[in-house]
Amino acid sequence: MDKRRRKSPEPIAKALQPIIEKLDAEGHFGLVRLAQVWPEMVGEGIARRTEVGDLKFHTAVIKVSLPMWIQELNLLKSDILARLQARLGADVVRDLRFVKGRLSRRERPRLRPVARAPRRAIELPELKDPDLRRAFESLIEAWGRSSR
């Protein structure tokens, strides 16, 4: 009986990586590399609301979930572009264009929940006017029910 040791299967990504690097010697996979590094370059909050759409003539077209984010991202454009160029090379992405678009239903990173301090009871000072005291109690009670 042949008792050769079997090697464990090699992950497909590891097997394909040398082939992709060889094919990408001329930079044809810029869009793929851009999509891979985008979340890391812009951060978790922006990555959840954006998606790399296309790469046309060295201009990355980024789909954005809401129009207000387009304005915010245009203010951050030079910083994001500098980080992308440092990571991918200056010739892959020369400009960014943000457009409103429907994001795919792919799994996006979730925001981490932030621990909130518990609410404490508020002691009112001595109020002589009973109407004023009831108004303050009502206000404090409503504040306690509201979400933060």
Q: What is the tens place of the pLDDT at every residue in 32-41?
A: 788 888 888 8
pTM reported for the whole predicted model: 0.55
With a cut of 80, say whether residue 119 has pLDDT above it.
no
- Does 1 or 96 have the greater pLDDT score? 96
The pLDDT of residue 128: 82
Least confident of 1-15, 29-43, 61-75: 1-15
| pLDDT tens column, 12-61 | 878 877 777 676 655 567 777 888 888 888 888 888 888 888 888 888 88
DSSP-H helix ranges across the chain: 12-23, 30-42, 44-49, 67-88, 130-145
Q: How far apart are CA 98 and CA 53, in angstroms?
A: 9
